[in-house]
Amino acid sequence: MAKIKKIIKTIRVDADKCNGCRACEVVCSGFHADPKWSSINPARSRIQVITDRMKDIWFPVFAGEYTPAECAGRNIYEIDGKEYDECHFCRASCPSRDLFKEPDSGLPLKCDMCEDDPPQEEPLCVQACLNDVLVYEEREEEVDEEVAQEEMEIGIKSLIDEYGLENLVDTVSRLLQKEEQTSS
């Protein structure tokens, strides 16, 4: 089985260093504004500092995948004498709460590690955090090439199930023609 190398981008969070300033939220919202930096609004940020001041809880969480499902889990975790709600650590944009949603439309938000052209050295939140709470890390992982193909097969099978093989082939050839026209 062939192996391919993949760059995994992550942000390590050293929550003990967080002073709760929310500079990360401010720059995230500005970077993702259209045009870039035209507006600022932390409610649109894809990173949110979870805060419960008197309980000494301050830590940033990044928006992950959207889920349409309500969540049943409401477990309480106690760490170092502090009580956390399970929700605190969850990265999902979900129907159970209003976190990680555009304030006007309610559309889900997801961290994209500030993909940019040319690429940013680090996501903007990492650049803005002067207390080094956020540390950008890239690591290379070897993954089976098969996996990607398997994923594609699953995706195509579901499309065949839904639209029928003939429709799907027609659509693909139409798209190919379009692409040829635009490139010529």
The residue among 17, 20, 39 whose CA lies nearest residue 29 is 39
Residues with Cβ within 8 Å of 14's Cβ and at least 6 positions away in sequence, in order, are: 132, 133, 134, 135
123-162 binders of other proteins (CB under 8 A): 127-128, 130-131
Choosing from 13, 40, 71, 160, the residue that interacts with other proteins (CB under 8 A) is 40
Dist. CA 43–CA 28, nearest whole Å: 10
CB of 123 to other proteins, least distance (A): 14
Output 23 or 47, the one with its CB closest to other proteins.
23
Strands 3-13 and 134-144: antiparallel
Residues 15-34: x where in contact with other proteins by CB under 8 A, - otherwise, as a string? ----xxxxx--xx--x--x-
CB of 92 to other proteins, least distance (A): 18
92 binds other proteins (CB under 8 A): no
Q: Decide if 39 contacts 29 (C-beta within 8 A).
A: yes
Structure tokens at 110: 């997801």
The owner of tokens 């023609």 is: 177
CB of 42 to other proteins, least distance (A): 7
CB of 54 to other proteins, least distance (A): 5
Dist. CA 49–CA 116, nearest whole Å: 24
Which residues form the interface with other proteins (CB under 8 A)? Answer: 19-23, 26-27, 30, 33, 35-44, 51-54, 56, 58, 103, 127-128, 130-131
